[in-house]
Structure 1
């Protein structure tokens, strides 16, 4: 069955995700606070809607990639039951507390929540080695793994706790516990990944 995918947020990353979905021949619906950002995607075949609520109503799968989880949570709260039976994939960066709050808001209106963190730049979306660390409703992973791996070929499902995905590496499960959902490329990427080092300020001479 053809899935209509809604993309909420069209910054650099959101636009790259929507463009990749169009390359995958998926029907794509988009929303952004600034409508002009959608023009290239509409020209490429995406459908523009005026409100997040309209996006939720039109989509089978929603991918949120806005500036903050608070913005998404507010839109979800105003949507009523429009997320009933929708698979909701959050890719907005947030703390575990913020992700859990968004999860509660999505599930309160009948949505099925999954969350991830992107470990690549927008230009790398769709590449086989692009790593997405994600977790949440296992049913969403089973239904939408093809979509997620279309965005990042090395995507890893970390399990049922959606708030683990935005955590630091020491909070993630050991690669030996990832199970069948993790590809060999993903396991190698996770073993090798390390947060960038902060530059040290030069010492003042005495």
Structure 2
């Protein structure tokens, strides 16, 4: 199992990161809360990974912090929840926000995420409530550090051609519908925004 990678950021196309390690490029899918923490292209970074082997694919999911990876692993243990849905959950919510939602039985907050209806949200909360007690009690300070930064409008993508389309593509990859993604991106877009800032604003507006 591949549990950690240390290398240079070769490409950034949210929610995918291409990490070059000893001449090999690893394509890693990341929740946006982790993606926001990645450095510029060409800089080195350590990514904590979760490796999934399927009949038709081998997939790497990456996280900026070990605790994010552990939360992801707990989420995908829930009945009917796969890695793609886990990625969407941790893209729309920080680790701390998700743990608090589960602790407060706030199913309505989860149904705003793609792929989650009320029944799925209620089942998630029931299944994860006991499992996440230790996160709430013992690791809250670490979780708090994972909240999204309030302001970050700096340029991140060296080769971004169309900021608006980049943002829409990222939302589609996370499970949002074309019409929904297009509508919210156009609604929140500001002239000074790069792709990362636009994705962040779009996700925030849907929660």
Q: Tell me whether the two structures share a fold, i.e. TM-score over 0.5.
A: no
TM-score, scaled to structure 1 = 0.29
TM-score, scaled to structure 2 = 0.29
Q: Which has the higher contact order (CA 8 A, sep 6+)?
A: 2
